[in-house]
Amino acid sequence: MILIGQYDSPFVRRVGIAMTLYGMVFDHQPWSAFGDGEKIARYSPLRRVPTLVLDDSVAISDSWAIIDTLDQMVGPDRALIAPSGTDRREAMRIIALAAGAADKSVALVYERVLRNEALGMWVARCRSQVSGALDALEIARSQSAASWLFGDGISHADILLATYLRFAREALPEVFDLATRPALAAHSERAEGLAVFQAISQPFVINPPT
């Protein structure tokens, strides 16, 4: 399998970490969505990352679809999410909040990099959405006293929450206030201390498209 995309993307990184935890062997092509758009287009017309090229050459985009595909490969006993019930619903709720905040954070970065002058009302809207989602995620994380959101085992929700927090901290320090969100800060620190998070990582650097 080939995982396309750079690990400074919270979406690409969550896939790389899940694949590593599943013990899957894959090639990593750290192509940039903008700079390497033509290369990505050979596999996906969307030119977005992550894109995962499977062994039968089928390419899947969007991290939720990729993660679902990986979970089907390992089966329900090994999947990093409850197969059903309230834990699955809560994991999905948290994943949707973190992914939504990540989408809006990426939009804020693009607004800064791609426009000569940012559109004020859009920036204000994205910031309030990110900030509201972070508040909800702080509450969700503070409700679990365990190592991770659903006990002692790390889940897809934990992984995405951590990859998003690192991205938010590095790409948007003015929006992410660590001091007022101690449960998120502790979560990020615990996750980033793991060998797999250190191996599957890349500091955030934005290269404006030319």
Ligand X SMILES: N[C@@H](CCC(=O)N[C@@H](CS)C(=O)NCC(=O)O)C(=O)O
Q: Does 62 bind ligand X (CB under 6 A)?
A: yes
Nearer to ligand X, 11 or 148 (CB): 11
User: Least distance in Å: CB of 15 to ligand X?
Assistant: 8
Q: Does 168 bind ligand X (CB under 6 A)?
A: no
| Alpha-carbon torsion, ordered 138, 143, 146, 150, to 10 deg | -90
Cβ neighbours of residue 146 closer than 8 Å, sequence gap 6 or more: 152
Per-residue binding letters, 102-141, with ligand X (x by CB under 6 A): ----x-----------------------------------
DSSP string covering 112-174: HHH-SS--HHHHHHHHHHHHHHHHHHHHHHHT--SSBTTBSS--HHHHHHHHHHHHHHHH-TT
Q: Does 52 bind ligand X (CB under 6 A)?
A: no
Query: Contact with ligand X (CB under 6 A): which of 18, 19, 33, 101?
Result: 33
Q: How far apart are CA 69 and CA 98, in angstroms?
A: 20
Q: Which stretch binds ligand X (CB under 6 A): 18-26, 59-67, 120-128, 145-153?
A: 59-67
User: Least distance in Å: CB of 106 to ligand X?
Assistant: 5
Query: Contact with ligand X (CB under 6 A): which of 1, 3, 11, 81?
Result: 11
**Three-state SS for 88?**
helix
Tokens of 178: 């660590």
Tokens of 85: 């019930």
Binding site for ligand X (CB under 6 A): 9, 11, 33, 48-50, 62-64, 99, 106
